[in-house]
Amino acid sequence: MIDGVGVYDIVAVATIVFFVGVFGFLTRKNLISLLISIELMLNAVVVNFVAFNKYLYPGRLDGYIFSLFVIAVAAAEVALAIALIIALYRLDNSIEADDMDSLQG
Amino acid sequence: MDFGYTIWIFVLPILSFLAIGLLGTRPALTGRSELLRGRVWGWIGTGAVFGSWLLALVTAYRYFFVLGTPDGHRPVVFGAKWVWMRFSEHLSFDMGILLDPISVMMLVVVTTVSFLVHLYSTGYMAGERGYARFFAFLSLFTVSMLGLVVATNIFQMYFFWELVGVSSYLLIGFYYDKPSAVAAAKKAFIVTRFADLGFLIGILILSYYAGTFDFQTLVSAGGPVLGGPAGRSFMGLSVFGWALGLIFMGGAGKSAMFPLHIWLPDAMEGPTPVSALIHAATMVVAGVYLVARLFPLYHEVDGGAILRLVAWTGGITSLIAALIAMTQEDIKRVLAYSTMSQLGYMMLALGVSGLHGHEGLGYMASMFHLFTHAMFKALLFLGAGSVIHAVHSNLMRDMGGLRKYMPVTHLTFLVACLAISGIPPFSGFFSKDEILAAAFERDKLLFVIEYAVAGITAFYMFRIYFGIFWGRERTYAHTPHESPAVMTIPLVVLAILSVLTGLVPFGEYVTADRTPYHGHINWPLALASIAVGVVGILVAKRFYQRPNDLPARAAEMWGRWYKWTRDKFYIDEIYQFVAHKIMFAGIAAPVAWFDRHVVDGFMRGLGWMTETFSLLIADLQSGRVRQYAFVFMGGLIALVLLVLFVTGLLNG
């Protein structure tokens, strides 16, 4: 671990990254951008996992293993999401999130 | 002495009911074969009841003559007895076969009439649709009635009581495509069911306070009812008095006592053999039999208050029915009212009876009349059936001069008419004389009523006799002919029985305390009753033997009274009024309105509210992901702030 960098700094960075993702998710209209925002949020979580594992339970590996899982799941999710987005594009000729409202009540 | 074989009296008709009911009514099975479609089902039913009849005769012989009176009175024997349903240590329903003088006598009556009616029906019902179904129901009825008469306890009696009600319903509605038959079947079922509600409540009260269903325990002198203290009372009667009154209500419904009689005349919609078996000879005497079965209780409880009710119900019924019978046109209805009238006699005889020796004359007379009446009334109905079979009409105006065409029917019908009119040496004379004697000794007013009814009975019976077999000559569409042998043989057998049964020294066999009693004919009374019978016959002969204008003039003279009796004293209309105007319009309609508008309205209101509110908020589900994310985020932030605020972390 880098000297002089405390857990608070790392958590602060992770929080900033997370809320950048939240902001992106709420403001962007393009589905690809939304996907990227989600990835930002996930990565913030992964950083938290690693940081807390290091500082709270140094002798254990749970946090690292979770991180690996999250990365694997994120990869699978991206593959699936891209496939869906392509399918939607072929259907509507658009990837604007606000156009996708066929599930309304 | 072992009476275990008596179980076969029931098993035979049960087997024939199952065989005919399960196999005979299947077109797939019977359709191909000419034999199976034909009379074979009738002969199976008749054969089974014939077997029961022989066994019943053997039982009667062994009970009355071989067993005799070991200790001065006739014993009570059990042919079988087993626990049917056990609920607890103290409460169980038993089934069994109780043999005592009245049940053995009833076994003979039921099997005899049932066998002859089965035999008759093989001819009468020939070629009818539902031939096998008819015999299945007839067998079912026979089993139920036999189970009723040998009941060892009041619960078993109730069980079979309802079964005879069901078979009666099925047979009245036998022509189920005829609306009037369906209506009559429903009427019979509902009216008797209403009466049976009283019966059931009576049973529950009686067995709750007495702690037993068993007849032997109930009627024993030291038993829970007669031996114990009188118990608490309600409105002047003890609980047992109320129980007996309610039980009598059931009996009155089944035996067509006024004012629960309205179903019996309509029940004539059924095939005529059914009327003979169920609505004349056997089922309708079940009410009389019930009172006789519990007679010691009726006699002792509350000083015989309920017994006086029984006597007066019987007396009033017999008078009203006889008056109505005088003016009816439909011969089966005349016979139905005549049955009611004779049942009234039996009830009255029980009502004026005591328990022992000469006092118990009424009980003996009632059972005697039940026995003879079963024979001659079955004969009357079967004779009427034979006539209806020949002229295809129930109405007297379609008949006349039939004596030339139907000699056997004519003679046997005449025998039955003489028997019911109380002319010696026919059976009705002996039993009716005993009843009149019993009434004379107990209550002069009832005696006067019954004496008048005896005359009226002779009049209306000979009215239909002359109307059918004499009277105006008709030209028939096709010449009437005598019925086939299977129909005339039962008529002849019943005619012989109608003569001979009167000569049975009945007091030797059946009395209230089961001790033989040597009765004798009260000749002054007997001569008086013969006289009134002869007068009735002579009046009828003058009126109806040859066509004349006397009946019309008499009707003219009596005017309103004539119309009243012809319209059956408007009792049906009173029921109609009570049912429609008071119960339907006054109670049922408001309750239905309440149900439809208040109860249903509340539930419908709940549905309406849910639906309206849902439509209101349906637009919140826009389908747009970003909007959901906004709301989700907003909610999350609000929750976090709330938690911070509540836990006090926000304030530092």
Greatest C-alpha distance within chain B: 124
Residue B134, classed as helix, strand or coil, is: helix
| Residue B111: CA count within 13 A, CB half-sphere | 29
Mutate one of B614, B622, B626, B636 to test the A interface: name it (highest A CB count within 10 A): B626
A75 in any annotated domain: yes
Of B618, B629, B633, which has the smallest distance from its Cβ to A105's Cβ? Answer: B618
pLDDT of residue B625: 82
pLDDT of residue B601: 92
What digits encode the pLDDT tens for the residues B471-485?
777 777 677 778 888
Q: List the structure tokens of A40.
A: 């930002």
pLDDT of residue A73: 92
What digits encode the pLDDT tens for the residues B313-354?
999 999 989 988 888 888 888 899 999 999 998 999 888 888
What digits encode the pLDDT tens for the residues B136-187?
899 999 999 999 999 888 888 999 999 999 999 999 988 888 888 898 899 8
Residue B39, classed as helix, strand or coil, is: coil
- Record: contact B621-A98, CB cut-off 8 A: no
Q: Does A41 touch chain B (CB under 8 A)?
A: no
Of A26, A102, A104, which has the smallest distance from its Cβ to B629's Cβ? Answer: A26
- Record: contact B623-A105, CB cut-off 8 A: yes
Of B620, B623, B630, which has the smallest distance from its Cβ to A102's Cβ? Answer: B623
Q: Does A3 touch chain B (CB under 8 A)?
A: no
Name the domain count of chain A.
1
Instruction: Find chain A residues with C-beta within 8 A of B618's C-beta.
Output: 105
Instruction: Find chain A residues with C-beta within 8 A of B619's C-beta.
Output: 105
Identify the CA nearest to B113 among candidates B436, B503, B507, B497. B497
Q: List the structure tokens of B390.
A: 């020949």
A79 in any annotated domain: yes
- Gap between the Cα atoms of B197 and B186, Å rounded: 16
A68 in any annotated domain: yes
A94 in any annotated domain: yes
Measured between CA atoms, the residue of chain B closest to residue A103 is B623
Of A22, A100, A104, which has the smallest distance from its Cβ to B633's Cβ? Answer: A22
Domain range holding A96?
7-103
For the cut 80, the answer to whether the pLDDT of residue B599 exceeds it is yes
Among B16-20, B103-107, B470-474, the range scoring the smallest mean pLDDT is B470-474
Mean pLDDT computed over every residue of chain B: 85
A2 in any annotated domain: no
Can the peptide bond before residue B13 be classed as cis, meaning omega within 30 degrees of 0?
no
Q: B95: pLDDT confidence band, cut at 50, 70 and 90?
A: confident
- Record: contact A22-B619, CB cut-off 8 A: no
- Gap between the Cα atoms of B247 and B618, Å rounded: 64
Among B186-190, B240-244, B622-626, the range scoring the smallest mean pLDDT is B622-626
CB pairs under 8 A between A and B: 34
A48 in any annotated domain: yes
Instruction: Find chain A residues with C-beta within 8 A of B624's C-beta.
Output: 97-98, 100-101, 104
CATH code for the domain of A84: 1.10.287.3510
Measured between CA atoms, the residue of chain A closest to residue B623 is A104
Greater confidence, B271 or B68?
B271
Instruction: Find chain A residues with C-beta within 8 A of B629's C-beta.
Output: 25-26
Q: Do the beta carbons of residue B249 and residue B208 sit within 8 Å?
A: no
Q: What is the pTM assigned to this prediction?
A: 0.78
Q: A78: pLDDT confidence band, cut at 50, 70 and 90?
A: very high
Q: B32: pLDDT confidence band, cut at 50, 70 and 90?
A: low
Q: B38: pLDDT confidence band, cut at 50, 70 and 90?
A: low
Q: Does A35 touch chain B (CB under 8 A)?
A: no
Which H helix or E strand runs over B79? strand B77-86
Measured between CA atoms, the residue of chain A closest to residue B619 is A105
A1 in any annotated domain: no
For the cut 80, the answer to whether the pLDDT of residue B452 exceeds it is yes
pLDDT of residue B652: 58
Measured between CA atoms, the residue of chain A closest to residue B630 is A26
What digits encode the pLDDT tens for the residues A6-52?
888 899 999 999 999 999 998 888 989 999 999 999 999 999 999 88
- Gap between the Cα atoms of B327 and B265, Å rounded: 14
pLDDT of residue A12: 93
Identify the CA nearest to B26 among candidates B35, B36, B17. B36
pLDDT of residue B54: 93
For the cut 90, the answer to whether the pLDDT of residue B609 exceeds it is yes
A16 in any annotated domain: yes
**Residue B545 to residues B326, B456, B463, B549, Cα–Cα distance (Å):** 16, 17, 8, 12
- Which amino acid would we find at residue B390? A
- Gap between the Cα atoms of B405 and B410, Å rounded: 9
**Residue B288 to residues B102, B109, B346, Cα–Cα distance (Å):** 11, 14, 7
Q: Which residues pair with B99 in a beta bridge?
A: B77
Greater confidence, B125 or B315?
B315
What digits encode the pLDDT tens for the residues B194-231?
899 999 999 988 888 887 888 888 877 777 777 666 56
- Gap between the Cα atoms of B306 and B241, Å rounded: 7
Identify the contact set of chain B against chain A, taking CB-CB distances under 8 A.
Answer: 618-626, 629-630, 633
Identify the CA nearest to B138 among candidates B115, B112, B158, B108. B115
- Record: contact A100-B625, CB cut-off 8 A: yes
pLDDT of residue A68: 93
**What is the mean pLDDT of the segment spanning B118-130?**
83
Q: B635: pLDDT confidence band, cut at 50, 70 and 90?
A: very high
Q: Is B643 exposed, middle or buried (0-12, 13-18, 19+ CB in 10 A)?
A: exposed
Q: List the structure tokens of B436.
A: 């009149």
Instruction: Find chain A residues with C-beta within 8 A of B630's C-beta.
Output: 26
Identify the CA nearest to B80 among candidates B147, B178, B177, B164. B147
For the cut 60, the answer to whether the pLDDT of residue A1 exceeds it is no
Mean pLDDT computed over every residue of chain A: 88
Instruction: Find chain A residues with C-beta within 8 A of B633's C-beta.
Output: 22, 26
Percent of chain B at pLDDT > 90 equals 15
Q: What does B575-635 look like in DSSP terms, one character per residue?
A: HHHIIIIIIIIIIIHHHHHHIIIIIHHHHHHHHHHHHHHHHHHGGG----HHHHHHHHHHH
Q: Does A29 touch chain B (CB under 8 A)?
A: yes
- Record: contact A105-B630, CB cut-off 8 A: no
Q: List the structure tokens of B237.
A: 């009667």
Measured between CA atoms, the residue of chain B closest to residue A99 is B624
Which H helix or E strand runs over B237? strand B237-238
pLDDT of residue B289: 92
Among B216-220, B255-259, B310-314, B461-465, the range scoring the smallest mean pLDDT is B216-220
Greater confidence, B548 or B635?
B635
What digits encode the pLDDT tens for the residues B357-380?
778 888 888 889 999 999 899 999
- Record: contact A104-B621, CB cut-off 8 A: yes
Measured between CA atoms, how close is B629 to chain A, in angstroms? 7
